[in-house]
Amino acid sequence: MNATMSLEKIKHYPVMLNQILSIISPQRGGTYIDCTFGAGGYSKEILKFPNTKVIALDRDKLSENYANPLLKKFPKRFNFFKDKFSNLNKLAERKLKPKAIIFDLGLSSLQLSDNKRGFSFESENFLNMEMGINDYSAYDVINSLDKEHLGSIIKILGEEKEGKRIANEIDKHRRRKPIKNSKELASIIKKAKRKNISYKKNPATKTFQAIRIFVNKELTELILGLIGATKLLSNGGILIVVSFHSVEDRIVKNFFNLHSDIKSNPSRYLPLKESKSNLFKTVCKKVLIPTSSEINENSRSRSAKLRYAVRNDASFINSDEFEKMFLNYLELEGASIW
């Protein structure tokens, strides 16, 4: 049995699908951009409505296996690009007028369950953690990145208080011999963590999150993706983001707050903004979460948070203010690892 066949047996649940469909109302037709195609959960549902078109992107080659049947079935209504969503601006000249642009961030259950990718704590395969179209792997980061930067990544991107201790322990091990797989890395992290705390999750969870975010430059992707999507949307277009951890959600929330009237000022440290920077006429005031029945059926959905906003007709010219807000993440992810 090859890897794809066995992965196809994994049940795939598109997270918060019903809420998304009720926000985007595909029964009225229109063009949709699915920035994180994965196994095509959202795209397939949208294409069930006859007057819809879907343009989908995913950086992972694995997604082509799920996109190809849709390309065959809907040659005029579906298109797929193996690309990163930071490159959404490439679609600008097509004058698509999308009704909605959707991001469902993070890893798919297929990626998580594929032992070869090195995302799980138990994997004894190469320490990879790449989603696709990467400059380096987790192996490179763990074995080459300088100790101080490694500690900052773990602390800031993983929100792991013990980042420095963990980086020191990793450094101690890699000086003797390279750290080759996720299982080995998870046990080194466990050793570094304080013993008097009982952990509900695997003690390596936050560090793995940090390394994965860094390897895939996920926050830079999100920041550029939000900017690109907002530029592509015209008056009435909807921007929807489903995120899975607080660092991502903070970026999305601040982006919507900064460019709408929802709060008079997104941060008390910033000067009061003028309404000319408003790009959204409606922003969902409260974050949406999965129903308890969805969480019962698919426990991975439990940390999902959905935010959306509806575009006004102002042009989006300057993204400096937003990029400045998260410069620390952009600089952290932009560091050279060699």
> Which residues contribute to the site for ligand SAM (CB under 6 A)?
12, 14, 36, 38-42, 57-60, 63, 84-85, 104, 106, 108, 131, 221
Pick between residue 60 and residue 162 the one whose CB is nearest to ligand SAM: 60
Pick between residue 65 and residue 278 the one whose CB is nearest to ligand SAM: 65
Using CA atoms of 306, 283, 255, 55 in order, give the dihedral in degrees to the nearest 10.
60
Q: How far is the CB of 191 from ligand SAM (least distance, A)?
A: 31
Cα(41)–Cα(63) distance, integer angstroms: 11
Cα(192)–Cα(272) distance, integer angstroms: 44
Pick between residue 42 and residue 329 the one whose CB is nearest to ligand SAM: 42
Q: How far is the CB of 258 from ligand SAM (least distance, A)?
A: 21
Q: How far is the CB of 315 from ligand SAM (least distance, A)?
A: 25
- Annotate 155-176 with b (16+ C-beta within 10 A) or e (fewer): bbbbebebbbbbbebbbebbee
Pick between residue 170 and residue 306 the one whose CB is nearest to ligand SAM: 306
Q: How far is the CB of 334 from ligand SAM (least distance, A)?
A: 15
In the bound state, the residue with its beta carbon closest to ligand SAM is 41
Q: How far is the CB of 204 from ligand SAM (least distance, A)?
A: 21
* CB distance 158 to 207 below 8 Å: yes
Pick between residue 104 and residue 162 the one whose CB is nearest to ligand SAM: 104
Q: How far is the CB of 215 from ligand SAM (least distance, A)?
A: 11
Query: Which residues, other chains included, contact 104 with Cβ-Cβ below 8 Å and sequence gap of 6+?
Result: 14, 15, 36, 38, 42, 242
Residue 70 burial (CB < 10 Å; 0-12/13-18/19+)?
A: buried
Query: Which residues, other chains included, contact 211 with Cβ-Cβ below 8 Å and sequence gap of 6+?
Result: 129, 138, 141, 142, 153, 154, 158
Q: How far is the CB of 14 from ligand SAM (least distance, A)?
A: 3
The whole-angstrom distance between residue 167's C-alpha and the CA centroid of its chain comes to 24
* CB distance 316 to 227 below 8 Å: yes
End-to-end Cα distance, the chain: 38
Pick between residue 17 and residue 314 the one whose CB is nearest to ligand SAM: 17
Pick between residue 34 and residue 162 the one whose CB is nearest to ligand SAM: 34
Cα(138)–Cα(215) distance, integer angstroms: 6
The DSSP output letter for 75 is: T
Q: What angle do CA 306, 311, 317 make, to 5 degrees?
A: 115
Phi, psi of 189 (to 5 degrees): -65, -45
Give me the amino acid identity at 148: E
Q: How far is the CB of 17 from ligand SAM (least distance, A)?
A: 7
Pick between residue 131 and residue 189 the one whose CB is nearest to ligand SAM: 131
Pick between residue 26 and residue 106 the one whose CB is nearest to ligand SAM: 106
Q: How far is the CB of 313 from ligand SAM (least distance, A)?
A: 28
